[in-house]
Structure 1
Amino acid sequence: MIILIAYNFSLLFRFPCRIGVCQTPVEVVACQLIAGKAFPELVMKALLYPGAVKTSFMEGTTIPSPNQLLSPYKSNKRRARFTTDLRHLEVIAGSYLCVAGALLGLVFVTEASELGVNGKVKFIDAGKSIRFESNACKKSDFAILHSSAEGSNDPADSNTSPLSNISSLDRSFSIQQDSSIGIIGGVSATSSLNFAKKLVKLNLEEEDSGPPFVLCSDPSLSKEFLSLERSSSAFLSGKTQGLYTDHSLLVENLRRKRVFLENSGVCCTVMPCHILHSWHEEIKEGCSVPFLNVGECVAKELKEAKLRPLEAGSGSPPRIGVLATNGSLVARFYQEKLENEGFEVILPDKAAVEHTVIPAVEALKRKDFEGAQNLFRIALQVLLVRAVNRVILASDELQELLPTDDPLWGKCINPMDALARSSIKYAQSARSGGN
């Protein structure tokens, strides 16, 4: 193993020096020592001869005699500048630090391997043992960082549940319980980070430092749901419902994340993912802090806007359109929340989705931006001609289909904007003592 690492390192290491190109850190050192005459030639020959034998063996050349060994290193030493020597010294220091790090990694390889077996790695910092624990049963659900005065040698620690140890979080890692927001990451890590950016942007617009937030993201979710969130095939083949007939494991996974955030001291929890909101009520069971619902947040904002029907004298309530890329699973969720607030919900029929929405997203993936924009405009117009006041874009992909200055955005709503505003309002209210 060590020989293989050394061989790979020798293949990667190349640096211009006095002999042309040095292939090992030892050659760089040799150039400097010979140029400075720091050691007798006999010592330098003893250091370099094993490397010369190795090089001759690998290249199939004749092994140089001791008298010829130092001649390459003296070839252009008089032309070297002071800055060149400094650069050589930097390379020497960096090279040996890399080697030292690799050797330490080999020495402590047993302890490091525990990360995959027991979910635990111990570090020593200023005489204190800091333990990084993760759920050993899951791939990468979440992690808890806490410190203890002494490292534990209890074998039971390897099977410790993160939820059972949340109460032992050190106060130095705690957050402000009265105003912090917990974020359960969804299918896309990018979407989760974009939501966090929305919180920061809203705080900057209000010239307020804003509430702190904790983001709990699980990359394994994307493997399970990427085909639904990113692909139109699930909708067209009717697999949306079949894939999630038994979703108990999914709900339990998300509940653990919710409990983790609650015990971290958040005042409310949000889940910026359209498709996961289909099981919001089940994930919410037993919640100890408010678990904001994106559908309720956007419906409430629309209600407060006091929209009027576009068809005068019709007597019908204001109409809201919903566009989604994953079929009825998400559309039904928004439809229920909007109808509870008295809105009439308009959904595109299957033919419209098949010929406009889904091809628009597919064109975007092919980087056919003009085609994607034209198809998306048609999809919007199909709803707008039915006198809808606003169109809810229930997919992150749909947010990328038009230029930012396109006037059609004035008719569109990103539900995650409403969720971000609602979470900040709640956190600010909790911080001021009102609910």
Structure 2
Amino acid sequence: MKKSIGILGGMGPMATADLFQKIVALTKADSDNDHIRIYIDNNPQIPDRTTAILKGGEDPVPQMLDALRHLEACGADCIVMPCNTAHYFLDRLQPETKIPFISILESTAKACAAAHPGKTACILATTGTLCTGIYEKALSQEGVAYLLPGDRHREILMDGIYRIKAGERLTDPAPFQGMLEDLQAAGADYFILGCTELPLAVEQLSLSGSFVDPTLELAKAAIRFCGGEIK
């Protein structure tokens, strides 16, 4: 019997739905019964992670723990969080449960090392994620070279991320495409979409470039953990 997945979601809801869809789409299944059982706690009341990290905003961990307790009660065998910035708090969450968290950071770093050896990644993420250095640490452990966007590009990223969180559909590709071209000129060979809203932005804007989707890599890692096969 396959193990089950618990999604600690709501950060944000669209990113949570995107992870669920990718797990289902990637699972090799001949019928409904071949799919993995998934429990979802979509808790949009979890305080903003970037605000907590950069501005001393409300601590998100109590609400994250509340969601974790619900997933424990359901019987989840592993926990995944479709929010990159939330992984800054993973060191406080994992000791609170015996259920293992599958890290989006580690899954992505391993995928970069395997798919792009010797190439340089550019980390596209929230200001909160970039300021913590959590992606840099994960990539360094796998020997992956990287560069970071500058302040102007971070403003473009944050604007797009929060517009998607607000339920808006992005329609003007020019700011994002210009940013990608600037970063390629600076030495980026490919881009890590290190905020779970960014794969949605790439899709909505039909952006061109070489991308690593952490949500996709997290979905694959969760499927493997549960004993499923990937299409």
Shorter-chain TM-score tier:
0.7 to 0.9
SS where residue 408 of structure 1 aligns? Answer: coil
Identity fraction in percent: 21
Does the CA-based 8 Å contact 1:186-1:276 persist in structure 2? no
Q: CA offsets, 1:56-92, max 9 Å, x none?
A: xxxxxxxxxxxxxxxxxxxxxxxxxxxxxxxxxxxxx
Equivalent residue for 1:242? Answer: 55
Distance 1:251 1:402, change over 3 A: closer
CA deviations on 1:153-189 (whole Å, 9 max, x unpaired) are: xxxxxxxxxxxxxxxxxxxxxxx7x511111113222
* Equivalent in 177, 189, 193 of residue 17 of structure 2: 193
Distance in 2, Cα, partners of 1:359 & 1:265: 37
What residue is the counterpart of 2:176 in the other structure? 376
Residue segments in structure 2 that go unaligned for 5+ positions in a row: none
Aligned to 1:11: none
Q: Distance in 2 between matches of 1:219 and 1:351?
A: 29
Matched, 1:344 2:145: yes
Distance 1:216 1:362 in 2: 21
* CA-to-aligned-CA distance 1:287-346 (integer Å, 9 cap, x gap): 3122111001111122232x233xxxxxxxx3211112x31x212221221111111221
| Alpha-carbon spacing, 1:207–1:405, altered in 2? closer, same or farther (3 Å) | farther
Matches of residues 11-410 of structure 1 in structure 2 within 5 Å? 179-203=3-27, 207=30, 209-221=34-46, 224-225=47-48, 228=50, 240-244=53-57, 247=59, 250-305=60-115, 307-309=116-118, 318-324=119-125, 326-327=126-127, 329-331=128-130, 332-354=133-155, 356-358=156-158, 369=171, 372-402=172-202, 406=206, 408-409=208-209
Question: For the residues of structure 1 that align with 2:162 and 2:65, how far apart are their CA atoms?
Answer: 33
TM-score, structure 2 as length reference: 0.81
Cα drift, residue 267 of structure 1 = 1.7
What is the CA distance between 1:206 and its match in structure 2? 5.1
Using the alignment, how far apart are the partners of 1:293 and 1:340 within structure 2? 14
Flag the structure with larger Rg: 1
Query: How many residue pairs were aligned?
Result: 222
Q: Which runs of 5+ in 1 are unaligned?
A: 1-175, 229-233, 310-317, 430-435
The correspondence for 1:417, drawn from 206, 212, 216, is: 216
Determine whether 1:426 maps to 2:222: no
For residue 257 of structure 1, report the CA deviation from its aligned partner: 2.5
Calculate the aligned-residue CA RMSD, in Å.
2.9
Distance 1:193 1:382, change over 3 A: same
Q: Which has the higher contact order (CA 8 A, sep 6+)?
A: 2
How far apart are the structure 1 equivalents of 2:191 and 2:138? 14
Q: Distance in 1 between matches of 2:153 and 2:142?
A: 26
**Offset at residue 357 of structure 1 (A):** 3.3
Structure 2 counterpart of 1:29: none
Q: Relative to structure 1, is the Cα distance of residues 262 and 361 closer, same or farther in structure 2, using a 3 angstrom cutoff?
A: closer
**Matches of 1:200 and 1:285, distance apart in 2:** 29
